Amino acid sequence: MNSVSVYEFDDAGKISHIDVYLQMALPEGAMLGSYEDVRISE
């Protein structure tokens, strides 16, 4: 798994927002069926 963290700072130099992105291999197709009713926000 690969990851990257993106930090946003306010004018005082303090962290105001963090985005964490993860990249991994896709699971097998049978496992994806369990996510049919999951809503992914945009």
pLDDT, one tens digit per residue, over 1-42 is: 799 999 999 999 999 999 999 998 877 777 767 777 777 776
Q: What is the pLDDT of residue 16?
A: 97
Q: What is the pLDDT of residue 21?
A: 93
The residue extents of the domains of the chain are 2-35
Q: What is the pLDDT of residue 42?
A: 61
Q: What is the pLDDT of residue 36?
A: 76
Per DSSP, 20 falls in state E
Q: What is the pLDDT of residue 18?
A: 96
Q: What is the pLDDT of residue 9?
A: 97
Q: What is the pLDDT of residue 20?
A: 94
Element containing residue 9 per DSSP (H, E)? strand 2-9
CA 42 – CA 11 distance, rounded (Å): 28
Q: Is the separation of the CB atoms in 31 and 38 below 8 Å?
A: no
